[in-house]
Every structure is written in C-alpha cells, then in structure tokens.
Amino acid sequence: MTSRSLAPYIDYTLLRPGCRREEIHTLCTTAIERGYVAVCVPPYYVSDAVQYTDGTLVKVATVVGFPHGMHLTEVKAQEAILALQSGAQELDMVIALAAYFSGDLGYVEAEVRHIATLAHEHGALLKVILETALLTPEQIQALCRLSAEAGADFVKTSTGFASKGADLESVRLMRASVPPYMGVKASGGIRTPEQAWAFIEAGATRIGTSTAL
C-alpha cells in the first residue's frame, strides 16, 4: 500500500493553538492535491477553508465543544449553527463526559441527538468524539450505542489532547459496537502509513491526522 492510496480515508487536521491562516491555506491546498476526503480546522477558519476548497471534493470539518466537551448543550448548539452557516460539512463534537461520568445519560443522549439533528438539517455529518483514553471498554461500548441511537454518523476515538490518542483495541471495540452504516474515525498519534493501515484493518473508516504528509 502507498500513502497515496490512503487519501480517501484522511481527515487532514490542523487544530494547534496559534495556527495561522496561511497554514490553513496550505492544509487545504495539500488536501486538494492529494485527494484527502476532508480538512478539519478550528471554527475561526471554517469560512476560509470553505473558500480554499470551493469547487473541489474536499469537505470542511470543524470541532464543537473542543477539546473537553464540557460546554453546555446550548453553547455547543450555537457553535454548530455558526459553523454550519459558515459552510462546514462535518462536525466533530466532543461528547459530554462530565455529564456521563455523573450518570446523566439522558443529557448526553439528548445533546448528541440535538447536534446530529442540526447537522443533518444542513446536509452535514456529526462525528462524536468519545476520548477513549478516559473510558473503560464497557464505557466505550455504551457511548457508541448511545451515539448510534441518537443519530450520529461517526464515533471518533480522540481529540489528540488527552493522555493518549487512538489505539487498535478501542477501534475494534467501536467498530463492533455501532451499526455497519456508521463510520469510525481513529485520531490522535497516527503518524505513519503502517499505523494508518492497521487502524483501517481494525475497522476505522476515517483517519484523523496532522501529519498526513
């Protein structure tokens, strides 16, 4: 396998604090040239990325509730609306782990459902970031099922800001815990083609990476 054939799996990501507009332009240009499926950029740069990728097949994704997911649902909803109005086609939302760990499953499910509905009303996709480094296998399974039932399009391993990123065991578990039509995005610490293919073989349908080159 070559790195070129990985292109349809790649969400080329730049979420580093302090990234500059010219870096976003380079990110988008590279994604277009290499045929990556999407770029994932900070909310501040969504309109720029939409302009840079206009007329191409590259989708623009951004983050919601990033990086800890502790925003109130109303705040996440407003983030989502503004991103969608700016042209975002995919939302990567950090799940409300504080609510989950407090046992408020209804809040978590309602939030995912609300943001999924907003995304779908705009023809966009919702990826739910679980932050698997903080979860037991049983919790990963439970949140995958919750996300599926609430209408999410993907479950995603990590923000890249926790103690560790994606691991193969979690991706296998996620794949087994969601319906076949749902996507699984592995992200966080994936830096080589060999790692990427291992995650794809484990069931990932997207690879989020800032080191796609």
pLDDT band per the 50, 70, 90 thresholds, residue 3? very low
- Helix intervals (H) in the chain: 21-34, 46-52, 73-85, 97-101, 105-121, 137-149, 168-177, 193-202
The alpha carbon of residue 159 and the mean position of all alpha carbons in its chain are separated, in whole angstroms, by 8
Is pLDDT at 135 greater than 80 in this prediction?
yes
Is pLDDT at 120 greater than 60 in this prediction?
yes
End-to-end alpha carbon distance in the chain: 15
Task: Determine what percent of the chain falls in helix, strand and coil, rounding each to the nearest 5.
Answer: 50, 15, 35
The catalytically annotated residue of 59, 153, 156, 167 is: 156
Is pLDDT at 71 greater than 70 in this prediction?
yes
pLDDT of residue 31: 97
Look up 76 and say whether it is catalytic.
no
Tell me what the mean pLDDT of segment 115-124 comes to.
98
- Tell me which CATH code domain 3-209 carries: 3.20.20.70
Look up 92 and say whether it is catalytic.
yes
Look up 59 and say whether it is catalytic.
no
Is pLDDT at 51 greater than 70 in this prediction?
yes
Tell me what the mean pLDDT of segment 164-184 comes to.
97
Helix axes 168-177, 193-202, angle to 10 degrees: 30
Q: CA-to-CA distance for 19 and 131, rounded, in angstroms?
A: 23
Is pLDDT at 169 greater than 50 in this prediction?
yes
The catalytically annotated residue of 59, 76, 127, 185 is: 185
Tell me what the mean pLDDT of segment 102-108 comes to.
98
| Pairing outcome for strands 206-209 and 183-187 | parallel
Is pLDDT at 2 greater than 90 in this prediction?
no
Mean pLDDT of the chain: 96
pLDDT of residue 73: 98
Is pLDDT at 211 greater than 90 in this prediction?
no
Q: Which of helix, strand or coil describes residue 127?
A: strand
pLDDT of residue 112: 98
Tell me what the mean pLDDT of segment 92-119 comes to.
98
pLDDT band per the 50, 70, 90 thresholds, residue 1? very low
Tell me what the mean pLDDT of segment 43-64 comes to.
98
The catalytically annotated residue of 11, 92, 153, 167 is: 92
